[in-house]
Amino acid sequence: MTKSRNTVPIGPRGSKQRLVLELALETTSRRSEIVRLGPQHVRDGRIRIDRIHGSRPVDIPLTPELKTALDAMAPMHLTYLTTPDGKPRSPHGLAIDFAKWCDAAGLPARCRLHGLKKAAMRRLAEAGATGHELMAVSGHKTLSMVQHYTAAADRSRLADSAMAKRNTNAVYTNTAALLYKRGKKL
């Protein structure tokens, strides 16, 4: 959403805005998963998330950023995110509030909560995570959905990585012979 997470204009550590940002970005979670998360899902440095929409549940390590955001919030309810009167937030209400926070921060209109899930998947892909590793974090059951989220991964870095894997000392057959196409010399 911005250049540096330290300058994210959505909210300082300890704010609900910052917690929503970290939950979405660090867990690749949907809004309907984020609103159900609470202290009971965190144990021994890990967070367990029951995914929805046919995805598998995941048990992933807490990142330092997410741990800091969770530690900055005083757990008072079964869910981290509540309305001002202490009720759990709805997924729709969270999406509306997040859009308002982004608008108030002066971010482009395209900055919405679901974009953080895609950004998290892309970041992991760019860091070298395999498709199966991404599935283990996101809960997706198929590689095709993972590819949907990571299609925009840094293509030049991936191309550099692929080319670096070539064996430049390999002996190829017929390298000394002329190449022919339809019986004609090229």
> Tens-digit pLDDT profile for the chain (186 aa)?
434 444 445 677 778 899 999 999 999 999 999 999 999 999 999 999 999 888 999 999 999 999 999 999 877 789 999 988 889 999 999 999 999 999 998 999 898 998 999 899 989 988 889 899 999 999 999 999 898 888 777 677 778 888 888 877 766 665 555 555 555 554
Closest alpha carbon to 138 in 120, 153, 114, 123: 120
Residue 43, in any domain of the structure: yes
Placement of tokens 């805005």 in the chain = 17
| Number of domains composing the chain | 1
Structural domain for 42, as ranges = 5-154
Residue 67, in any domain of the structure: yes
Residue 72, in any domain of the structure: yes
Residue 79, in any domain of the structure: yes
Phi/psi-derived region of residue 97, left when phi > 0, alpha when psi is between -120 and 50, beta in every other case? alpha
Residue 2: per-residue pLDDT: 39
| pTM of the predicted model as reported, rounded to 2 decimal places | 0.76
Residue 1: per-residue pLDDT: 41
159-166 contacts at long range (C-beta below 8 A, 24 or more positions apart): 161/128
Residue 12, in any domain of the structure: yes
Supply the CATH number for residue 65's domain: 1.10.443.10
Residue 182: per-residue pLDDT: 58
Half-sphere exposure of 63 (CA within 13 A, CB side): 14
Q: If 0-12 CB within 10 Å is exposed, 13-18 middle and 19+ buried, where does residue 99 land?
A: middle
Return d(Cα 141, Cα 133) in angstroms, integer.
12
Residue 183, in any domain of the structure: no
Residue 130, in any domain of the structure: yes
Residue 175, in any domain of the structure: no
